[in-house]
Amino acid sequence: MAIAGQPVRAADIYRSEGPDGAVRFATRPLDKSYRLFLRDDAQRPALRAQVIPIAPAAVGAAASRPDAGQVTQLAEHLARKHAIDPALVKAVIDVESRGNAAAVSPKGATGAMQLLPSTAAMYGVTELTDPAQNIEAGIRHLKYLLDRHGGNLTLALAAYNAGEGAVARHAARIPPYRETMLYVPAVLARMQVNQNNTSNTNNTSKP
- pLDDT(66) > 70: no
Residue 14 lies in a domain: no
Highest mean pLDDT among 29-38, 51-60, 124-133: 124-133
Which residue in 96, 127, 164, 179 is the catalytic one? Answer: 96
What is the domain-level CATH number for residue 71? 1.10.530.10
- pLDDT(200) > 50: yes
Q: Three-state SS across 77-101? A: HHHHHCCCCHHHHHHHHHHHHCCCC
Identify the band that residue 40 occupies on the pLDDT scale cut at 50, 70 and 90.
low
> Quick one: pLDDT at residue 83?
96
Question: How far is it, in rounded angstroms, from Cα 21 to Cα 100?
Answer: 35
Residue 7 lies in a domain: no
Residues of the domain holding 161: 56-205
Residues 130 and 172: beta-carbon distance below 8 Å: no
Question: Which DSSP helix (H) or strand (E) runs through 37?
Answer: strand 35-38
Does residue 76 have an active-site annotation?
no
Residue predicted with more confidence, 71 or 60: 71
Residue 144 lies in a domain: yes
Residue 180 lies in a domain: yes
Given 3-state DSSP classes, what are the helix, strand and coil percentages for the chain, each rounded to the nearest 5? Answer: 50, 10, 40
Predicted TM-score (pTM) above 0.75:
no
Residue 2 lies in a domain: no
Residue predicted with more confidence, 187 or 69: 187
Over the chain, what is the mean pLDDT? 79
> Quick one: pLDDT at residue 47?
32
Domain count, the chain: 1
2-15 pLDDT, tens digit per residue, is 333 344 455 567 77
Residue 111 lies in a domain: yes
> Quick one: pLDDT at residue 12?
67
